[in-house]
Amino acid sequence: MNMPDPQAFAATWMSQFADPTVWQGWMTAPQAMPAMVPPVGGANPLAGLLKDVGAGIPPAKLESLRDDYLKKAGQLWQDFVVGKQPELGDKRFSASEWKENPLSAFSAASYLLNSQFMLALADSVEAGARERQKIRFAVQQMVDAMSPANFFATNPEAQKKLLETKGESLAKGLTNMLSDMQKGRISHTDESAFEVGRNVGNSAGQVVFENELFQLIQYTPATPTVKAVPLLMIPPCINKFYILDLQPENSLVRYVVEQGNTVFMVSWRNPDQSLGHTTWDDFVETGAIKAIEVVREITGQEKTHVFGFCVGGTIAATALAVLAARGQQPAASVSLLTTLLDFSDTGVLDVFVDETQVAQREQKLAKGGLMPGRDLATTFSALRPNDLVWNYVQQNYLKGKEPPAFDLLYWNADSTNLPGPMFCWYLRNTYLENKLREPGAVTVCGVPVDLGAIDAPVFLYGSKEDHIVPWEAAFASMDLLNPKNAKANRYVLGASGHIAGVINPASKGKRSYWVNENGGKGRPKTAEAWMAGALEHKGSWWPEWAKFLAQNGGADVPAPSAPGNERYQPTEPAPGRYVKARAD
């Protein structure tokens, strides 16, 4: 059976169901609902959709899905007629208002049934896994958008709020919406509650170096002695570094400083048009490699711990591979958090990357320009639309509520631009062609890259519910790094997602993490085998990392009495001015 072009197919689904009259018919004329899914070729507005679906789903499967839907829809209608309360089972409809109003309960139940049917159709399309994932993603976006909770006319919670406040909630909601339209984004938190350098990103330290790409911060020691080996932290350039230094009680920076480490942080510049021609090589050479060089000169140490988070980990590992090709091994250890080096499994982000989309980006940006931070933020919000879009539409606009103050969401809204050439190289050579994992397949800074040439023990961290870097993909780096001494490598799996799993303060004792001590039988070769032998521990994974740093940190020495040295003098207090620049 020939499968239609996946992008055209997904577009057909989107265009058919973008028409609100289709859903309005299901919501306002429930007695006609079974007829809304007619045999293929009927005159109903859904006929064109089902005809396209029929081209990609085996007829027997399509008929089975249709019969199952009609049976459930008929039962739902019968239950409604006799006044039986439907089971909703979705947190969007957990408030009592949905159950108190029979029409609202039926509306929600109808929506959930229709959503289930549409997603089942998407999952049944005969296509490659990647194409089917794209179709499902497009359908899921539309399904989430059309929830009755997202519209005032079908949201009983918003309607009740309107009556209780005598119209003030609606007026406030319109004010919130107009304010967000001026910002060009949905407000997730009370942004007036935070200021970088005042109550987020405020760990004590000094900027001791800067160039056109980054400032280097050296943090003030918190202990009389420190480990001889310093720690260099390289955050993602796609976000601001202060995710690692939020408020004192949840600052990873503060934690590792208090564990007796001399800590340095790369604070990437938020690119403007003057950096529009910056390349991946620049981020590696002028960024990570230069930072390693300065840290070694300031501390007088031959080696440094090198830490990378997300894209920062990809940059850090690339930089160390470049230095290895030049005959240098400056890392005492390598710590990579939620980092991809093998891009075989990129999770849901895979729907945004194919030859056509990458080529379009290259045509527009490869020779210069900026990838706007706002576009990147929109992309990431689309990965979790119910949490990061529609929840705030309901709360901020329909109910007129003010979002609460939340430091992590303040950081999430503080987006950064990316230089076009750097972004295009990254998309093609990693996400699209997955060259970084292959020794010598890609050249960076004039030398072939071989991640296996990095000679240092490795600490890898993944988050169990990470939708950006699946934990199994983070584990795949175990086979790429430090092959000569693989037993020295360590993998730790934390609970929760890409950010919340990482920012899990040891002092709060929340969540859990998993480790596999191998039992002397050798390291498991697959993520599944690793998990099968892993043990869960309550609390934060941070102490596991602190122990790893201490084991590879050398002797205890007196803490530095002042930041920098004669050549690299402090220029301004942390967090510096680069991190305060907002994206255009």
Is 310 noted as a catalytic residue in this protein?
yes
Rounded-to-integer distance, Cα 213 and Cα 266, Å: 10
Q: How far apart are CA 252 and CA 243, in angstroms?
A: 9
CA distance 202 to 241: 12
Distance CA 267, CA 279 (A): 17
DSSP symbol at 509: T
Q: And the tokens for 260?
A: 């007796």
Please tell me what DSSP assigns to residue 207.
E
Whether omega for the bond prior to residue 575 falls within 30 degrees of 0, making it cis, is: yes
- Phi and psi for 536 in degrees, rounded to 5? -90, 135
Contact 444, 472 (CB under 8 A): no
Phi-psi region of 181 (alpha: psi -120 to 50; beta: other; left: phi over 0): alpha
List of residues 6+ apart from 259 with CB closer than 8 A? 223, 546, 549, 550
The CA distance from 10 to 52, in Å, is 10
The residue annotated as part of the active site, out of 237, 310, 424, 445, is: 310
For residue 338, which of 354, 349, 329 has the smallest C-alpha distance? 349
Concatenated DSSP letters of 256-268: HHHTT--EEEEEE
Residue 581 tokens, joined: 């620049």
Residue 393 CB-half CA count within 13 A: 18
Residue indicated by tokens 């497009």: 138
Strand 512-515 versus strand 535-538 pairing type: antiparallel
What residue has token string 């919670």?
A: 157
If we measure between CA atoms, which residue out of 454, 385, 370, 456 comes closest to residue 419?
Answer: 370
What distance in Å separates the CA atoms of residue 450 and residue 325, rounded to the nearest whole number? 8
Strand 231-234 relative to strand 304-309, pairing = parallel
Structure tokens at 502: 């990482």
The SS3 of residue 93 is helix
**SS3 sequence of 185-196:** CCCCCCHHHCCE
From residue 131, how far is each of 19, 67, 249, 265, 324 by CA, in Å? Answer: 24, 26, 44, 40, 38
C-beta neighbour count of 158 within 10 angstroms: 23
Cβ atoms 201, 247 nearer than 8 A: no
Closest CA to 322 of 449, 436, 483: 449
Active site residues: 310
